[in-house]
Amino acid sequence: MNKLGQIILVMLSILFSLYQKVVHGEKFFTFDFYLFTLIAWFVGWQYDRARHFGKKARASENSYKQLLNSLPESVIIHSHNKILYVNDATVSMVRARSKEEIIGKSIFDFSVDEYKPRMEERIKQIKKLKKPLNCIEHKLKRLDGSTFYFEVSSLYIVFGGGEAVLSIGKDITERKEEIDRMIQKSEKLAMLGQMAAGIAHEIRNPLTSVKGFIQLLHTHYNEKEYFSIVLDELERINAIVEEFLVLAKPSTAVFIEQDIRDLIKDIVTLVNNQLLLNNVQIFVDFDSNLPMVSCEKNQLKQVFLNLIKNAIEAMPNGGHIYIRAKEKKDGKISISIEDEGMGIPEERIPTLGEPFYTTKEKGTGLGLMTCYKIIESHKGEILIHSILDKGTTVEILLPTITQKLLKHDLSMNRYSEY
């Protein structure tokens, strides 16, 4: 460590004492001399020490920036939504001429409007957890106005002496387009034919009934029960169309931090009347310290509602449904819904989730297909296990947010009954 500060300040103390002796004739070695020299030595030592660590910090920061600059992935460091640092890969990705065109701007300047709520929620989670979060997809815009898809992982860091967020990711636009092209090539014709045949079959049957009963109305106009049948069949057509709209409608989901237990309790409360009418009881078993998940809660509620209704319909004579939620070792949470219904033949399980494949008399198969689509968008998976005449278990696996919760205030006893 350089001692230049100590030397200069001690020399100044000596020169001052020498000046006092020459000009005023005072003694050289006085108490003040020793005191000021000691203070000069200590202050100089602190100054040299601060310069030494400051130099090391600057060298470390320069090495840190050189490392980030050498990465092929884009790196963005921002604080309070203001961009503090980007590497060369980011400059190239957003088609800027230099880093100065990016640094100082708001990160929201690069987000398309429909993805801004997702970005805001992500930043809140990062600041709260202060741990690395799973990758998420954003749609961003370049300086020239073109858009692209950016897969990014973020974490909380200290940068330049203050709190900041480091985001590292890559442009996945080409990958998404290639996957879409492959899917379209392999499934477009087959899916088109399958869906066309299914739609024709599903809509033709209720229309035939409507046509026949309308014809009967000409001669039996006092038979009011015919009107009910006509309305029921029309409602069935409407339900089929609605399920198609859910599957086809593009949407940008805003994922928020959510306790899965709250979602399940909401759904159980919602279907309570249906449970009573069908002589079905639900029992829940939740781990007392479940981690949170990042999800679009309304979509997950739709999944749980579909699966619970399926379980109820699988037990026409009543029975029990068991819902369990627990943490897995691989950073996932498991939610299982088990019924005591008639079960599903093993050879039919791989075809579940396909459109128009169903074991129900008046089903379309689109409900379960919607569940698969939603869970896939949450980076999760659905596993189905079934034994004939004993029941079916549907297990949903979802990635968790890294932070663990404290013990839930409303944690339930094992097998609490609703």
- Mean pLDDT, 10 residues at a time, the chain of 418 residues: 64 69 67 68 70 63 66 89 91 92 93 91 86 85 92 86 88 85 64 60 68 67 63 67 55 79 89 88 91 88 90 91 91 94 85 60 63 88 91 94 44 42
pLDDT of residue 322: 96
CB 258 within 8 A of CB 294: yes
- Distance from first CA to last CA of the chain, Å, rounded? 71
Round the average pLDDT of the chain to a whole number and report it: 78
Query: How long, in residues, is the chain?
Result: 418
Q: What is the pTM of this model?
A: 0.53
Burial class of 404 by CB neighbour count within 10 A (0 to 12, 13 to 18, 19+): exposed
pLDDT score of 416: 46
pLDDT of residue 411: 36
User: Tokens standing for 212?
Assistant: 């026949």
- CA distances to 169, 188, 212, 262, 361 from 229, in Å: 56, 36, 11, 39, 17
372 neighbors 345 (Cβ within 8 angstroms)? no
